[in-house]
Amino acid sequence: MKKFNLTGEWEFKANPNSFLPKDIETKLLNWNKANVPGTVHLDLMANGFIPDPYFETNELNLQWIDKVDWIYRKKFTIDFDPLKSEFDSIKIVFEGLDTIGDVKVNGQYIGSFDNMFVEYTFEVKEILKPGENEIEIYFKSPTFAGKALESKYGKLPVELASHRVYLRKAQYSFGWDWAPTLTTSGIWKPVYLEFIKCAKIKNVWFKTISISDSKAQIATEIEIEKLTDEDIELSLEIFFENEKIYERNFTQRKGDRVRVHRFEINSPNLWYPNGFGKPTLYKAQIKLLKNGETLDETVKKFGIRTVQLIQEKDEDGESFIFEINGEKIFCKGANWIPADCFLPRVKKEDYDILLEMAKEANLNILRVWGGGIYEDEYFYEKCDELGIMIWQDFMFACAGYPEFDDFVENVKNEAIQIVKKLRNHPSIVIWCGNNENEWIWVDKTGKHPDEMPGAKIFKELLKQICQEYDGTRPYWRSSPWGKNYPNSETDGNHHQWKVWSQWVDYKNYENVKARFVTEFGFQSPPHPETLNEVLKPENRNFNSFSIQHHNKQEDGIPRLFRFLTAHHKITSDFDDLIYKMQLNQAEAIKFAVENWRIRKFKTAGTIFWQWNDCWNVISWSAIDYRKRPKALYYYAKKFFHPVIIVVKRSDDKVKIFGVNDYPTQIDGNLIITTFTIHGLKKFEKKIPATLEKNSVAIIFEGKLENLEISKPETDYIRVKFESNGKIISENSLFLTEPKFLNLQKFGIAYRFLKTGEDEYILKMSSKNLIKSLFIYFEGLDAKLSDNFFDLHPDEPVEIKINSTATLQQLLNSIRMKMLT
């Protein structure tokens, strides 16, 4: 099979019937340069017709774009006569069209589209001609299209813009509580011609049937589009670390569309999540051949692993535990949202950075949230490689959905395509019907979830499709979902939004005994530079309308302050507030995660809201739009580490918990120290302790007075776990809020060592406690191995710094903030 790329240069213009801004009307009615894959917003920007939609409040003036119908066209040349060619079929393939409209080739209508999540393929052999050809795509205004359907079929119970549910389009593009309303149109994924001779490989799937110590049973299903009655050959080769370990050849006869084949792999290397084992992948090479000529070929990686969701009754309700290869896995992760409002801007490198950061921060799961998109295949490939499990929602969020036949048919086709496309990825461990639909419905109406518009899609349709086209991983109706109540704490999974969204402060996380928490979160502003990029200097303060515009939650800014004052001293300095708000967020999520990790496996998962951002915004993210880590990112590295030590206080007692997520036992010592913030060591004790594999245990219990704690504003407890002479985990407990601590601007001794190309070590120490030290390099890019940490008395630390800057530049630009 040959491909002819149709991406790159295109042209676009507005349909004359649309309402266009007077000042650029003429320009929009003429053909202009476009770039595919792209979106109309990107093309308008590239032509200088609109300013950056993320800057200041520009978004508000750009709302006309989604009310316009847009036309895209491309001319291309074919240097042979398709009808006389050797090809049995020539197709035009659109991997993604956003969202509703028609396609013409050489003036002839070839089909329509109405779902941005699916691939559209049209046969064009009869339509193409030698020489110049032309494709034209007509995009209808998504807003008017959605509204027209809404007035025909009725308004449904929907959070945010109600017409959005009528379109199979990323729901966040209609605006969300972290996203602007930038409702896109365009050819958002690759487009190409396929020249098929005899046959092509349509789908390849490797599934693990069973695993024993000595071998794994694998079944492969290879789907072929066969356009000839003649026999063709199919060859299958399996490689492990570049060594061929299996090989088979088959003859595909007349009607053989699918080749199902079972085989065994001896002493298999299994796929395990990050932090538990290696995420081993095997490689398969599949070829279709005829008389020695390769008709089509593909390479696929696959993992050998089983997944089970353990739901067993216990005294508190019912468990919700993922088992991978028969091992219970405590899930630690975050929710993933689309990495931009303009999706074609998201490149492989962006996925690399965001996903590698997830691995580095010890995440083992991400939830692809239902108001976004089914991510690019590269995203899933990368998660396969990194051992990051995926909780995969279907793309429905916070609403009841239509039930008319065409809509359900559209959803059905989408689900089948998506399940077949993604099922080969070992990283995906669960399919989930939607985000919060049933929970919101039940809370708002008091009615049964089955009465919700669209309920059948989630209760039956998607479940059946997952069973029929996959069947190797669980299907879950919604997130959250539970037996008697969708947001139950005794069974199923839970979203915890009392904290933050319902104005409750984070200490309340302690009272939440849910079985698996797929959402909970706390907001903070992004890095000042990320924010400054979209704010004029006069608006870089929390009183400006522009900054409020960059927080899409109702009362988002007031919440930031309400929760900040509970813990930190309020100042009026912008950067200082950002620093403290980031800290507050990190402390909140740490508090939650530690509380749930010490309940292991009563609670078996904590997935915070949210990993990333889609623009420069104040949100719940750990990493901002420019991929600058917030304090939460550095905290996650620690609170998600496979081994944590947690100190819990109740009245005059303390308990110290040891959590070990590794599949091996760890022997070592617990070291408990009581310091004053001025560096006086009041108490120290070393206790031998064992952390059983994949377990939690109380490793110390005692009274505060026995640890010589007397003054909460100066005394604090420091704990470390040492094994084989190395500290593998550490933590502290302060007995009062940071704002009440008697902190001062204590001195820090530091020096840099150059340790390699673009690599430095920053050595730091202090005689006193330096609380929440934030290190940054003004105007320089530098990656720090840790930040926002406490520097303890006489406990030097070494921070690894990666930067292309010189030593002198680092010395000149280093800045530090600490709590005082």
Q: Are 418 and 379 in contact (CB under 8 A)?
A: no
Q: Choose the binding region for ligand BMA from 175-183, 192-200, 279-287, 464-472 (rule: CB under 6 A).
A: 175-183
In angstroms, what is the minimal distance from the CB of 65 to ligand BMA?
Answer: 23
Q: Which is nearer to ligand BMA, 274 or 501 (CB)?
A: 501
Q: Is 343 left (phi over 0), alpha (psi -120 to 50) or beta?
A: alpha
Q: Are 311 and 604 in contact (CB under 8 A)?
A: no
At residue 152, φ and ψ (nearest 5 deg) are: -75, -45
Q: Choose the binding region for ligand BMA from 71-79, 172-180, 251-259, 298-306 (rule: CB under 6 A).
A: 172-180
- HSE-CB at 762 with a 13 A cutoff on CA atoms is 26
Concatenate the DSSP letters of all residues of 747-785 into one string.
--EEEEEEEETTEEEEEEE-SS-EEEEEEEETT---EES
CA distance 358 to 366: 9
Among 375, 519, 575, 587, binds ligand BMA (CB under 6 A): 519
Q: N- to C-terminal Cα distance for the chain?
A: 67
Q: Choose the binding region for ligand BMA from 20-28, 90-98, 173-181, 629-637 (rule: CB under 6 A).
A: 173-181
3-state secondary structure of 407: helix
CA distance 136 to 736: 66
In angstroms, what is the minimal distance from the CB of 392 to ligand BMA?
Answer: 15
The Cβ of residue 593 has, within 10 Å, a number of other Cβ atoms equal to 25
437 near ligand BMA, judged by CB under 6 A: no
CB-based contacts of 12: which residues, under 8 Å, 6+ apart? 31, 32, 34, 40, 43, 70, 71, 72, 73
Question: Residue 181: which of 506, 480, 455, 549 has the closest Cα?
Answer: 549
Q: Are 180 and 59 in contact (CB under 8 A)?
A: yes
136 near ligand BMA, judged by CB under 6 A: no
458 near ligand BMA, judged by CB under 6 A: no
Q: Facing residues of 115 across strands?
A: 168
501 near ligand BMA, judged by CB under 6 A: yes
523 near ligand BMA, judged by CB under 6 A: no
Amino acid occupying residue 102: D
In angstroms, what is the minimal distance from the CB of 213 to ligand BMA?
Answer: 41
Q: Facing residues of 92 across strands?
A: 122, 193
393 near ligand BMA, judged by CB under 6 A: no
CA distance 549 to 577: 18
CB-based contacts of 143: which residues, under 8 Å, 6+ apart? 66, 67, 163, 183
In angstroms, what is the minimal distance from the CB of 532 to ligand BMA?
Answer: 24
98 near ligand BMA, judged by CB under 6 A: no
Among 54, 70, 174, 176, binds ligand BMA (CB under 6 A): 176
Q: Which is nearer to ligand BMA, 263 or 497 (CB)?
A: 497
Q: Mask of contacts with ligand BMA, 684-713, x by CB under 6 A?
A: ------------------------------
In angstroms, what is the minimal distance from the CB of 371 to ligand BMA?
Answer: 6
Residues 406-435 that bind ligand BMA (CB under 6 A): 435
Q: Choose the binding region for ligand BMA from 54-62, 174-182, 235-243, 654-662 (rule: CB under 6 A).
A: 174-182
Q: Choose the binding region for ligand BMA from 176-184, 298-306, 629-637, 680-688 (rule: CB under 6 A).
A: 176-184
Q: Mask of contacts with ligand BMA, 546-585, x by CB under 6 A?
A: ----------------------------------------
Q: Number of residues interacting with ligand BMA: please give it, by CB under 6 A.
A: 11
Q: Are 49 and 28 in contact (CB under 8 A)?
A: yes
The Cβ of residue 720 has, within 10 Å, a number of other Cβ atoms equal to 20
Residues 644-663 that bind ligand BMA (CB under 6 A): none
438 near ligand BMA, judged by CB under 6 A: no
Read off the DSSP letter of residue 524: B
CA distance 44 to 173: 17
Q: Which is nearer to ligand BMA, 189 or 367 (CB)?
A: 367
In angstroms, what is the minimal distance from the CB of 336 to ligand BMA?
Answer: 12
Instruction: Indicate the pairing of strand 365-368 with strand 331-336.
Output: parallel
Among 28, 398, 607, 775, binds ligand BMA (CB under 6 A): 398
> Token pair 């996203």 is at which residue?
179
178 near ligand BMA, judged by CB under 6 A: yes
Among 195, 609, 746, 760, binds ligand BMA (CB under 6 A): 609
Q: Choose the binding region for ligand BMA from 170-178, 247-255, 769-777, 804-812 (rule: CB under 6 A).
A: 170-178
Residues 358-377 that bind ligand BMA (CB under 6 A): 371
Q: Are 253 and 199 in contact (CB under 8 A)?
A: no
Among 436, 575, 613, 730, binds ligand BMA (CB under 6 A): 436
In angstroms, what is the minimal distance from the CB of 522 to ligand BMA?
Answer: 10
In angstroms, what is the minimal distance from the CB of 172 to ligand BMA?
Answer: 8
613 near ligand BMA, judged by CB under 6 A: no
Q: Which residues bind to ligand BMA, rule: CB under 6 A?
A: 176-178, 371, 397-398, 435-436, 501, 519, 609
